[in-house]
Amino acid sequence: MVEGIKQTGKPVFGFGIEGHGDHETIRRASQKAKELLQWASELRREQRPLKDLWVSTKCGESDTTSGCGANPTVGNAFDKLYPHGVTLVFGETTELTGASTWSPRAAGTTQCARSSSSCSTATRKSSIATRPANLMDSQPTKGNIAGGLTTIEEKALGNIQKIGRKCLVDGVLDKAETPTGPGLWFMDSSSAAAEMVTLCAAAGYVVHFFPTGQGNVIGNPILPVIKLCANPRTVRTMSEHIDVDVSGLLRKELTPDQAGDQLLECMFRTANGRLTAAEALGHREFVLNAVIRVGLSTLAVEVWRGGAQGAFQSFEVPRHPSQTVLDVVTYIQRSLDATLAYRFACRVGMCGSCAMSVNWRAALDLPDPCRQGCPENKLVIGPLRNLPVIRDLVTDMRGFFDKWARAKGSFEGTKTKRDDFRARTARFRR
């Protein structure tokens, strides 16, 4: 992390407790913090063109007023910033569920539409794989339901209002990835508020629009978070947390255009140094989980290509919790090279179809490949060594099955369904 920040030209120091102890580390860090504070106090504000602003958005504690008021206000502001070459970003992949028919239409290129739709599918699959139950218990959240949102689709269609009506999605970013040019970017990212804002800060965004329905208090130590709200009750009960009150939209005292202008005015004041409500109240929520996951998140995979005289080909595959070797091979075939040949059937380690050589040992579908003997995030996957190779990871198994049949390796049961079930299973119940 220190090396990465150094490359930006900003002063940075790293500290480790090991070899020094708590007290000495705190002393050294305090000394450097004082020096950095003095360095920062000499910086002078300078005029910059509008296009140097990088603006991110993510909503929180959404209710029915979010999709009707606060989110379209962000959309109105985005529509006004986009033509000036400002760099914008939105995300929250799982909270776009149901608005996916919309996303490809707004995508600037077909490739971008495909990427955003595959992010959506991949994130939903990974959420489902890592959750003990299904998504029903998380989206919409209990708070969203209390606020009147009945389905994730309803929430998603309100959520997507944040990107306005005129912007095109210019590209897709991974978590915390820095965009390569101006325009509107979609970040394949978490829906958790503090995590998403931290990811935007890590990507380089400098001001954040945070529309809320029922009120959310989060701030960030790096990225100023501007809260806007269209729910009159929240504006009344949590006024100290709200920077821009757009509740007049629901009473028709404010037009969407005026609401967007109010938000932009607040953005300019913030960019000029005014503290946001979250900053003034000392909210500095910071979640590094996803940033750390990104740092560890690729597997270097060598896969055998061709027949007996073939060679290994290198691929980079994103890591996921609970990933298996078969998942790795499937990812390569579906996302990187559709010509890769491999074999599978049951996918649960029963049938033996997917047997291959993994890091030079014959194996079935291994769970978590990095805990199975490849600590450096490297995998070498080839066909089984003692069988003729047909292509890539597929071997000719006819000889094997002939020998198996001759050796009578199959199971021949002696009971039938007419035998008493309790008697048949008695030994398992003891």
Beta partners for residue 395, in sequence order = 389
* Contact residues: ligand FES, CB under 6 A: 344-347, 349-354, 364-365
C-alpha span between 213 and 68 (Å, rounded) = 10
CB of 76 to ligand FES, least distance (A): 52
Nearer to ligand FES by C-beta: 230 or 358?
358
- Is the four-CA dihedral 181, 183, 189, 194 of positive or negative sign? positive
Nearer to ligand FES by C-beta: 88 or 366?
366
Nearer to ligand FES by C-beta: 29 or 351?
351
CB of 407 to ligand FES, least distance (A): 20
CB of 18 to ligand FES, least distance (A): 42
Closest-by-Cβ residue to ligand FES is 354
Q: What is the DSSP string of 161-223?
A: GGGTTT--EEEEE-TTPPPSSSEEEEE-----HHHHHHHHHHHT--EEEEEESS------SSS
CB of 342 to ligand FES, least distance (A): 10
Query: In sequence order, which residues have a C-beta less than 8 Å from that of residue 110 and are 6 or more positions away?
Result: none
CB of 364 to ligand FES, least distance (A): 5
Beta partners for residue 211, in sequence order = 228
CB of 352 to ligand FES, least distance (A): 5
Q: How far is CA 373 from CA 28, 271, 323, 367, in A?
A: 39, 50, 14, 11
CB of 350 to ligand FES, least distance (A): 5
Nearer to ligand FES by C-beta: 160 or 364?
364
C-alpha span between 213 and 69 (Å, rounded) = 9
Nearer to ligand FES by C-beta: 319 or 347?
347
Query: In sequence order, which residues have a C-beta less than 8 Å from that of residue 39 and are 6 or more positions away?
Result: 11
* DSSP SS3 for 406: helix
C-alpha span between 183 and 83 (Å, rounded) = 8
C-alpha span between 207 and 213 (Å, rounded) = 20
Nearer to ligand FES by C-beta: 222 or 397?
397
Nearer to ligand FES by C-beta: 298 or 386?
386
